[in-house]
Amino acid sequence: MSKIKIVQNILEANDAIAGQNRRLLDKYKVFSINIMSSPGAGKTSLILQTLARLKDKLKAAIIEGDVASTIDAEKVKDHATAVVQINTRNMPESCSLIANMIDSALKNLPLEEIDLLLIENVGNLICPSEFALGEHKRVVISSLPEGDDKPIKYPMIFEGADAVIINKLDLLPYVDFDIPAFRRAVKGLNPRVEFFEISCKTGKGIETWCSWLLNEIKANSQKLI
Amino acid sequence: MHELSITQSIVDVISKKSQEGQVSRITQVNLVIGELSGFVPDCIKFYFDFLSKDTIAEGAVLNFQLIPARLRCRDCSTIFSPQGRDWTCPECHSLSLEIIGGRELYIESMEVE
């Protein structure tokens, strides 16, 4: 009997594929964001609002991750250059997209034609925080009806986010969501995070979010030249 | 289903590693898992028995070293392990906390015959 030292990160295989995805996206100058939230927080609505605002400025593709169904892909397909639906139900990871699912999806997208890739992750606040996909920015949406305690219950996803979007602002008169307390909790974990307060229903705040996104796309493409 | 893909990675890594030496069977695998990593040891065990079947790792025992969350207060530098979900600095009550431990998820070593 002997002992063999290994010391290898178990997520290394996923991270290596995520790195390949990122290099492929950079090669074609495609900026990508990984959109994460609990089910029903407004990932698809944010994508639709973003596409509507930016349709004259850039070409976008969408990867839709869901356990089952093509409902979200149907909703966005007329507004994007291309859409790939991933159903995770029969895959080794059903509660989150993982890097090799994105690797397969990228093979079915016209990367030379697009500027932006929006990846809608499976609705879940735990598993997606573990798996890098190759995205440039990680975006987490919290909506008012979910309550302001989510950063305390699910710290890791907020700690790893580049941007946190507070959605369904139109419901503020009807729900007890303490926005300053929510922002303090997120900021405590993640001082460099950007906040956006929006309503996909009324369109409030979408302009500011889209300006940020355009700036990030521009900054990234300048970095790649 | 969160643990299935990472358990497959564990089986892949230890199988590959065992090819480097004269190994007839893997008897124990020592894993280090942080409290914040979100992976559940019992689930990994469950999938491991299934995924290691007919491999060199079949029958191996998984040992877990669990690492608690460790936080450092950005205001007063106190380092502490939070109790449950109360992430407040015990010294100055700040909420500005950096995670410095508890994310671990790696294979430390294995014992072989």
DSSP A36-53: EESTTSSHHHHHHHHHHH
Q: Which of B5, B99, B105 lies nearest to residue A9, judging by beta carbons?
A: B105
Per-domain residue ranges of chain B: 2-68+102-112
In chain B, the largest separation of any two C-alpha atoms, in whole Å, equals: 55
Residue pair A167/A43 in contact by the 8 Å Cβ criterion: no
In this prediction, residue B1 carries a pLDDT of 54
> Rounded to whole angstroms, what are the CA distances from A108 to A15, A84, A98, A105, A112?
21, 7, 16, 5, 12
Q: Which of A6, A159, A189 lies nearest to residue B13, judging by beta carbons?
A: A6
pLDDT digits (tens, 9 = 90+) for A74-99: 999 999 999 999 998 888 778 999 99
The vertex-B34 CA angle with B29 and B36, nearest 5°, equals 145
Residue pair A54/A139 in contact by the 8 Å Cβ criterion: no
In this prediction, residue A223 carries a pLDDT of 87
Alpha helices in chain B (DSSP H): 4-18, 41-51
Tell me if chain B has a CB within 8 Å of the CB of A21: no
Residue pair B17/B110 in contact by the 8 Å Cβ criterion: yes
Q: What is the 3-state secondary structure (H, E, C) of A149-217?
A: CHHHHCHHHHHCCCEEEEECHHHCCCCCCCHHHHHHHHHHHCCCCEEEECCCCCCCCHHHHHHHHHHHH
Average pLDDT over residues A6-14: 93
Tokens of A194: 């950007």
Computed from CA positions of residues A28, A34, A35, A39, in that sequence, does the dihedral angle turn out positive or negative?
A: positive
Chain B residues whose CB is inside 8 A of the A130 CB are 2, 37-39
In this prediction, residue B94 carries a pLDDT of 94
Average pLDDT over residues B42-62: 96
Closest-CA distance, B107 to chain A, in angstroms, reads: 5
pLDDT digits (tens, 9 = 90+) for A104-142: 999 999 999 999 999 999 999 999 999 999 999 999 999
Question: Which residue does chain A place closest to B73, by CA atoms?
Answer: A188
For the domain spanning B2-68+102-112, the CATH number is 3.30.2320.50
Residue pair A15/A132 in contact by the 8 Å Cβ criterion: yes
Closest-CA distance, A98 to chain B, in angstroms, reads: 9
Beta bridge partners of B61: B28
CB-based contact A7 B111, cutoff 8 Å: no
Report helix, strand or coil for B107. strand
Nearest partner of A66 among A84, A48, A47, A46, judged by Cα:
A84
Chain B residues whose CB is inside 8 A of the A151 CB are none
- Give percent of chain A above pLDDT 70: 100
Question: Which residue does chain A place closest to B87, by CA atoms?
Answer: A152
Closest-CA distance, A84 to chain B, in angstroms, reads: 22
Name the interface residues of B facing A (CB cutoff 8 Å): 1-2, 4-6, 8-10, 12-14, 17-18, 21, 27, 31, 36-39, 74, 85, 87, 94-97, 99, 103, 105-113
In this prediction, residue A9 carries a pLDDT of 94
Tokens of A160: 């790893």
Output the pTM of the full model. Answer: 0.94
Tell me if chain B has a CB within 8 Å of the CB of A11: yes
CB-based contact B1 A93, cutoff 8 Å: yes
pLDDT at A187 over 80: yes
CB-based contact A94 B8, cutoff 8 Å: no
Average pLDDT over residues A61-82: 93
Chain B residues whose CB is inside 8 A of the A36 CB are none
Tell me if chain B has a CB within 8 Å of the CB of A129: yes
In this prediction, residue B84 carries a pLDDT of 82
Tell me if chain B has a CB within 8 Å of the CB of A10: yes
pLDDT digits (tens, 9 = 90+) for B4-22: 889 999 999 999 999 998 8
Tell me if chain B has a CB within 8 Å of the CB of A187: yes
Q: List all residues 6 or more positions away from B31 whose beta carbon is below 8 Å from its beta carbon.
A: A10, B10, B41, B44, B62, B63, B64, B65, B106, B107, B108
CB-based contact B4 A5, cutoff 8 Å: no
Average pLDDT over residues B24-44: 94
Q: Which of A6, A92, A185 lies nearest to residue B108, judging by beta carbons?
A: A6
pLDDT at B85 over 90: no
In this prediction, residue B26 carries a pLDDT of 97
Q: What CA–CA distance (Å, rounded) separates A85 from A72? A: 8
Beta bridge partners of A86: A65
Average pLDDT over residues B40-49: 94
| ipTM, two decimals | 0.87
Phi, psi angle pair for A202, to nearest 5°: -100, -15
Q: What is the 3-state secondary structure (H, E, C) of A99-142?
A: HHHHHHHHHCCCHHHCCEEEEECCCCCCHHHCCCCCCCEEEEEE
Q: What is the DSSP letter of B60?
A: P
